[in-house]
Amino acid sequence: MANYCTVANLEKFLPDVTFDATSKIKETEVLEFISGHSATIDSRVNANYVTPITGTQALLVVKKICEYLSIADVGPIVIGGFGEATDEATPKDYAKEAMDMLDKIESGELDLVDASKRTGVNFYNYNRVNDITPKMKKETTQW
């Protein structure tokens, strides 16, 4: 499985923050978030596209989704949230936009133009059939 974004990509969202062995959240922990969200992306787009995604334009889209999902998890840990109400995007905004994009890819509204499409073979997706949306937070019950 490929990771669709990097630690350096996330550092661009958080000025003056670097992830290393001495930071509040370690680089290895950030990589775990990225890896988990990359797996989520693969599982959601796999019904329509061959994964891992390899098309240049398609990679830009899934990179953005991975960044948004990861920053929604990492941002509040590093800086304790995004502060008072401002015009800046919040972690919930990032997560919602990313999940909306995944929904559109899965439904076919958003086309990953240069990604390899699946042809002729499809599989049963319990979540899609039963309209279940994964919760992106730690709880006893994830689904």
Hunting for tokens 């439904």 — which residue is that? Answer: 107
Any domain includes 136: no
- 28: containing domain: 7-129
Which pLDDT tens digit goes with each residue over 102-141? 999 988 899 999 999 987 655 666 766 677 776 666 656 6
Task: Enter the pTM of the model.
Answer: 0.79
In order of 7, 12, 18, 94, 122, the CA distances from 86 in angstroms are 25, 19, 23, 14, 44
Any domain includes 141: no
Which pLDDT tens digit goes with each residue over 41-67? 999 998 889 999 999 999 999 999 999
Any domain includes 134: no
Any domain includes 138: no
The number of domains in the chain is 1
Any domain includes 117: yes
